[in-house]
Amino acid sequence: MNFKVFNSVSVHYLFMLSTILLFISCKENKKQKSTDKTDNVALGRSANDIIPFFQHWNLILGDGSNVGQALDYENKNFFYTASDDHGDWVVFKTPNAGNTHGTSNNTRTELAQLKKWSPMTEATMKATLKVMNVSTTGDARVASTYSVVVGQIHSADGHENEPLKIFYKKFPGHEKGSVFWHYEINTAGDDNSKRWDYSYPIWGYDFSVVGTDENTYPPEPVDGIALGEEFTYEVVIKEGMMYLTFTSEGHETKKFTKNLISSEYANLSDMPEQTKKLFVPIGQDGLERKEAYTGEGLFFKLGTYNQTNGKDPKINKIWCSGAETHGGDLQKQYADGNYAEVWFKSADITISDDAISNAGYFEANDGLSSKTVYPNEVIPFMDKFKILLGDGTEVEDITEFEHKDFFYTVIDGTRRWVVYKTPNSGVTSKNSSNTRTELHEKREWLPEDGGKLTGTCKVMQVSISGDARVAASYSTVVGQIHSGEGHENEPLKIFYKKFPGHTKGSVFWNYEINPEGDDNSGRWEYSNAVWGHDMSVIGKGKNDYPAEPKNGIELGEEFSYEVNVYKGIMYLTFKSEDHETKTFTKNLISSEYVKKSDFPAQMKKLFVPIGQDGTERTTAYIGELNYFKQGAYNQTNGKSPETNMVWFAGAETYGGDIAKQYENGCYTEVWFREATVGQGTPPK
C-alpha cells in the first residue's frame, strides 16, 4: 500500500517536472530563434521594457518605413532586443542599401522625436551604447565610409539641417575606431546645396582623416573606441547653447559647447581649414545664417543611421561610399558585414512643456524616397523642350514626365539633379548613328536674332569600350546648337571625352561647317580644347591611349557652360572649380573656311583622309533657323571603324540590349543641376 502511494506520487512529480522542463526548453528555443542569426539571446521582451521611453518617438526602419511608436514592437531584421554579460540591450540594425527616409542617401533604423522644440528652451538626451558593426566595405578616401551616426539633433524647419550628428567610424583591420561629432551649418538663403559640416574629434580622429586610396587606411587611432566598447553621450540644450559630454571607462571625459543661435561661420573668412579641405573641392562652400538655428523647431534622433552606402564616390567624394550592397539584398549584406549595428543599454530625454507636434516633418518626409520628382521640378524649363530618349521614343510634353531608364532625377547627398542616360546602341534620330537622351528646343531662332543656353553638369559615365583611333570614341555631347534648315548641321557641339584608365577627361567644343551647294557629304568639324585635349588627340592603336590630360575634368566633376548667340556672334564661357575659366567667340554668319587654303591642320589630319573636305558658304548659317539641344548625345557607337575613322567607334553594344549595355559600362550618363534657355544678350 505504501509502495503504491509512493509510486503514484513519484509519477505525478515526474510528470510535473517534465512539463516544467519542456516549457523551459520551448521558451529557450523560442529565444534562440529570435536572435536574427546573432550569438546573443533575444529576451522576448519589448524594447520599451528595457528603455521605457518609446512613447516619445516614431521609429524609422532600414526599409524606409515609419512604424510609429515602438511601445510593443520588434522586427528581426532591424529592431529587437538582446542580452549579454553586461545587461539587456535594444538593437538598431540597418544595411548599406535599402529604402531610406526623406532625401538621404543612407538607410537608418532610428528614432525620431514626436515633438520639436526651440533652441531657446531646455531639452536633454542621454544614451549609453556600443557599436557592434560598421560596414566592412567602402572607399577609404570617402570621409563617411565605415561610419554610423548614433545620435542627432535635426531641424524640422527651413532646410531641415542637422546641428548635431554623433559618429562612430572604424576602418577595416583596425581594432579601435573614432568617435566624433558634427555641426552642420544652417545655410543662408534658399540654396542649401552648399551646406557643410564641421567635425570635432572626441576619441580618435575627426571626419577629415581619410585614406590615401580606396583600400589604404590611416594609422589606427591610439585613443580610439573598439567595437563592443561602451560609451555615453549627453546632449543638453539651454538658452540657445548646446552642451555635450562624452564618457567611456578608461577614456578621458570630453566636453564641448556650441552656440545654436549665433553663427561663427557667417563670413567667408570664418571658414575653417577642415572645410576647405573636405567640402570646398566638391562645391559645398556656403555661408551660414547669422542667427544659425534661431526660430527653427529642433528634435532629437537616436539609433543607427548608416553613413556607408553603395553610391559611386564620383557622385560625391564625401558622402558616397561605393560599398558593397548586393543589389540591395538585405540578408546578403548582413551575411558579409555590409551593415551598421548599434546596441543601446539606456537612454532618456527631457523636453520643455513648450514643445509642439513634429507631425509636419513626418508628413513631408515619410515615403519621400519613393515619390516621383519630375525633372521639371529640378530644372523648371522643360515646357520649352521636347525630348528624344535612348530607345527612340519622342515625348512632346515633358513637364510631368520621367523615364527610369533614360530621364529622371536623383539626389547626390546635397542636391537634386536631372539625369540623361543613353546606351551605345538603341534607336536614334534620322541622319545620326548615335543614341541620345536629349532635349530639343521647341523655339527656333535665327543667328542674327540669337538665343542663350546655360547648363551646370557633371558627366558620370562615358562608354568604356570603343576604338582609341576613332576621335568620337569614349565621348558624349552635353549641349548643342542645331540647324533646322538647309543641311541641318551643327554650329556647336560641346563634348566630354575620357579614355579608359584615365582619371581625367577632356572638355572641347566643335564647330561644323555649313557647306555651300546641295552636297553636304564634305562637311567637317573644327575642335577647340577647353580643358584637356581637343577631338583630334587619339590613340595609335585600338587600345593605345594618348597621355592623360593634366588639366582635365574627372567623371563626376562639375562644369558649366554658357552659349550666348547675339547678332550672329556666338560667345562661349566655360567654368569649373579649380580650373581656368575659358571664353571663345565664333562668327555664325560669316565663314572663315570658304577656300581650301583656309583649312586648319587639325581638319586635314582628321577629315581629309575620310573624304570630308568641303568648303563653307560665305554666309555660314545666316538665315537658317536654329535651336538648342541639351542632355546626353552618346558619340560612341557599335559601327565598324573601317568605314569611318572619325565617327564609327566599334564599341560593344550587346546586340542592342540596353540592360546589358548599362550593366557593362557601355553607355553615357550626364547629370544637370541647373540650366536656362532664353534670348541672346549683349556680351559683357
Identify which of 262, 271, 228, 275 has the alpha carbon closest to the alpha carbon of residue 248.
Answer: 228
Q: Give residues with Cβ within 8 angstroms of 63, minimum separation 6.
A: 77, 78, 98, 99, 107
> C-alpha grid cell for residue 610?
575620310
Q: State the number of CA atoms in the 13 A half-sphere of 372 facing the CB.
A: 11
Report H helices in 211-335: 273-278, 330-335
**Each residue's pLDDT tens digit, 447-469:** 999 999 999 999 999 999 999 99
pLDDT digits (tens, 9 = 90+) for 49-60: 999 999 999 999
Q: How many CA atoms lie within 13 A of 111 on its CB side?
A: 33
pLDDT, tens only, 266-275: 999 999 999 9
Tens of pLDDT, residues 544-566: 999 999 999 999 999 999 999 99
pTM of the predicted model as reported, rounded to 2 decimal places: 0.80
Under DSSP, the state recorded for 425 is S
Q: What is the b/e burial string over 103-140, where b = at least 16 CB atoms within 10 angstroms of the residue's CB?
A: bbbbbbbbbbbbbbbbbbbebebbbbbbbbbbbbbbbb
pLDDT band of 42, cuts 50, 70, 90: low
For 232-275, write each residue's pLDDT tens digit: 999 999 999 999 999 999 999 999 999 999 999 999 999 999 99
pLDDT > 70 in the chain, percent: 92
The set of residues, in sequence order, having a beta carbon less than 8 Å from that of 351 and lying 6+ positions away, is: 113, 115, 117, 121, 122, 123, 124
> Residue 215, SS3?
coil
User: What is the C-alpha separation between 32 and 372, in angstroms, rounded?
Assistant: 42
What letter represents residue 349's amino acid?
A: I
Q: For residue 90, is pLDDT > 70?
A: yes
Residue among 537, 524, 439 at smallest CA distance from 497:
537
CA 235 – CA 281 distance, rounded (Å): 32
How far does the chain reach from its first CA to its final CA, in angstroms? 120
Q: What is the mean pLDDT of residues 493-521?
A: 97
Grid cell, residue 402, equals 520621367
3-state secondary structure 337-375: CCEEEEEEEEEEEEECCCCEECHHHHHHHCCHHHCCCCH
Range of weakest confidence among 34-43, 57-66, 105-114: 34-43
Which residues contact residue 407 at a Cβ distance below 8 angstroms, ignoring those fewer than 6 apart?
Answer: 375, 387, 389, 398, 401, 418, 419, 420, 421, 437
Lookup result for grid cell 539641417: 161
* H or E segment and range at residue 50: helix 47-50
Cα(348)–Cα(51) distance, rounded to whole angstroms? 8
Binned at pLDDT 50, 70 and 90, residue 633 comes out as very high
Distance CA 551, CA 548 (A): 9
Structure confidence at residue 430 (pLDDT)? 63
* Alpha-carbon gap, residue 502 to 475, rounded angstroms: 13
